[in-house]
Structure 1
Amino acid sequence: MTTSPSPATPDKTLSRDLASGALALAIAEIAEDAARLILPYWRSDTAVETKSDDSPVTQADRAAEALILERLAALYPGVQTVAEEAVAESGAPAQAEDWFWLIDPLDGTKGFVRGGEAFTVNIALIHAGRPVAGVVTAPATATTWRTDAPGQGAFRRQFGEQQEGEAHSGAEWRPIKVRDRPAEGMALLSHSVTDEEAARLAARHGCTRWQGTDSSLKFCLIAEGRFDAYPRSGPTSEWDTAAGQAVLEAAGGRVLADDGQPLSYGKPRFLNGPFVAMGG
């Protein structure tokens, strides 16, 4: 008989499933189910509301977050969750616990509303301030990137459509890794920066060319060896970066804060300062 993990010992359950790789596979399935839920709202004139920080939110954000929270609670009860829309409505927790989830159910909502493809679902597990597992799913392209057991690399797959009651379907998971820095590196930048600032940031990190894109997709494109750096000077929330950082680090890359140390989590108000994500 199968029993659910005990809420009294979430650390033991998480440690076991993290070490075996089962946790990353489980949260990949959750992220892909959230992606399937989001897609009917895409390019459908879904209503857009404005949150207190002037960022947009849609029913797709809220529905995806509800699904993720419900599924994580069923698998790992008793583990703290820090999710974007819950924080927007009720405020951030006063402090982070030793283990906690960081969730962005729809990263890149502005692009999603415009009908662009660069929006993602992000789920990351944090332990002692570090992202130890993460999944990023791009619903528009049916692509998922994930970590594995610690030290076992990062993987990508295309996931298929799923009918109600069917098992999860998708292509085989394939390993990814960062590339060695070429002579003329290519940077990815947020669309929120000016061309002048983008060129400056790219050059600062040894890149002669740059391209703008939305969401945590930037981390994943570096992780699979297509780009070389993603410098960020403006503020971000921890749920924007944690899953992408987990994937990139598993693929051999780095995400460093201004002090040269790996970007950490559980900071006051769950906010990041400047950082740079790098490949080889």
Structure 2
Amino acid sequence: MSDQIKTLYDICLEAGKEIMSVYEQDFDVAFKEDDSPLTIADERAHHVISQGLKSAFPDIPILSEEGRDIPYEERKKWSEFWLVDPVDGTKEFIKKNGEFTVNIALVEGNVSTLGVIYAPALDIMYIGSESEGAYKVEQASKVTADYWLDAAVELPMDQERDTIHVVASRSHMSEETEAFIEGLKGDVQTVSSGSSLKFCLVAEGEADYYPRYAPTMEWDTGAGQAIVEAAGGQVLRESDGERFTYNKKELLNEWFLVKR
């Protein structure tokens, strides 16, 4: 497996340690915005990730949620770049349900070709590469980067069931998502997960569809798309059914559908 994956594996573990050092504290979510525990966790993870990437890959620029103000006139010249969300899943972090992630993707041209998603509270790592496939590593922090593949399960995993599983909110389902589900033939069940772990459910085979008919940003989806596509799935624009792309002038994503 590529040295890039090994490096990203280690970087994600280190970022996860910084996030968990904040997450495991008793914090008051009513703090001022600039002092919120999530912001502190974001900043610490961003520092670890950016320093790690710059050290290992000095010629590849970084676009991160914590450093989003790079002009398009500069970005459009990039042939490749790292797309980073240091902590994805604000609500999950605050609720302390563990379903938040570190997301790192490599975008080449305007296509996400490599993605790593790490859920530090769950200690699960997902890895997807256009050339090397998709994998899941449980108890990731107990595995060194050199031997991660020995502990990994290749995705998608075999899933035999009679029902169609759709990733959707049980309590706040949008009209568009309801319409999508009603258009499916067969017995449909909803499954739920936080942050970019929704992509991972599809990559694993635990879910068949993830319709996202709500706003997201490029760093929310880059790593997840690489993992889904490496597992044989698709991430398609809702407007025209075409493959999702990146480094647009506006970093706000269109609505999309993830499918196995």
Could you tell me the TM-score, scaled by structure 2's length? Answer: 0.85
User: 2:182 aligned with 1:203, yes or no?
Assistant: yes
Shift of 1:197: 5.0
Aligned mates of 2:216, 2:254 — CA distance in 1:
7
Aligned mates of 1:111, 1:70 — CA distance in 2:
26
Letter in 2 for 1:74: S
Aligned mates of 2:96, 2:161 — CA distance in 1:
33
Aligned mates of 1:85, 1:191 — CA distance in 2:
31
User: 2:203 aligned with 1:223, yes or no?
Assistant: yes
2:33 corresponds to: 50
Letter in 2 for 1:270: L
Aligned mates of 1:139, 1:191 — CA distance in 2:
25
Is residue 169–residue 190 contact of structure 2 (8 Å, CA) maintained in 1? no
Is residue 146–residue 247 contact of structure 1 (8 Å, CA) maintained in 2? yes
Aligned mates of 1:216, 1:255 — CA distance in 2:
13
Aligned residues: 250
Shift of 1:266: 0.7
Letter in 2 for 1:28: Y
1:65 corresponds to: 46
User: 2:98 aligned with 1:120, yes or no?
Assistant: no
> How do residues 98-137 of structure 1 correspond to structure 2 at under 5 angstroms?
98-137=79-118
1:6 corresponds to: none
Aligned mates of 1:255, 1:179 — CA distance in 2:
20
Within the candidate set 200, 206, 215, 1:235 is matched to 215
Aligned mates of 1:132, 1:27 — CA distance in 2:
14
1:194 corresponds to: 173
1:276 corresponds to: 257
Shift of 1:204: 4.0
Residue aligned with 1:106, SS: strand
Is residue 199–residue 210 contact of structure 1 (8 Å, CA) maintained in 2? no
Is residue 43–residue 113 contact of structure 1 (8 Å, CA) maintained in 2? no
**Residues 246 and 190 of structure 1: is their aligned pair in 2 closer, same or farther, counting only changes over 3 Å?**
farther
* Deviation digits for residues 117-173 of structure 1 (CA, Å, limit 9, x no counterpart): 11000000000100011100011110001024x3321111124547xxx96586712
Residue aligned with 2:81, SS: strand
Q: Percent identity?
A: 33
Aligned mates of 1:160, 1:186 — CA distance in 2:
27
Could you tell me the TM-score, scaled by structure 1's length? Answer: 0.80
Provide the alpha-carbon RMSD of the alignment: 2.7
**Residues 252 and 178 of structure 1: is their aligned pair in 2 closer, same or farther, counting only changes over 3 Å?**
farther
* Deviation digits for residues 25-54 of structure 1 (CA, Å, limit 9, x no counterpart): 221221122112211211423465537xxx
Is residue 132–residue 246 contact of structure 1 (8 Å, CA) maintained in 2? yes
Within the candidate set 8, 12, 22, 1:27 is matched to 8
**Residues 257 and 201 of structure 1: is their aligned pair in 2 closer, same or farther, counting only changes over 3 Å?**
same
Query: Which is further off, 109-118 or 58-67?
Result: 109-118
Aligned mates of 1:233, 1:223 — CA distance in 2:
19
Aligned mates of 1:278, 1:233 — CA distance in 2:
14
2:66 corresponds to: 85
Gaps of 5+ in 2: none
**Residues 56 and 266 of structure 1: is their aligned pair in 2 closer, same or farther, counting only changes over 3 Å?**
farther
Shift of 1:200: 2.8
Residue aligned with 1:262, SS: coil
Aligned mates of 1:264, 1:181 — CA distance in 2:
32
Is residue 82–residue 93 contact of structure 1 (8 Å, CA) maintained in 2? no
Within the candidate set 214, 236, 239, 2:194 is matched to 214
**Residues 200 and 137 of structure 1: is their aligned pair in 2 closer, same or farther, counting only changes over 3 Å?**
same
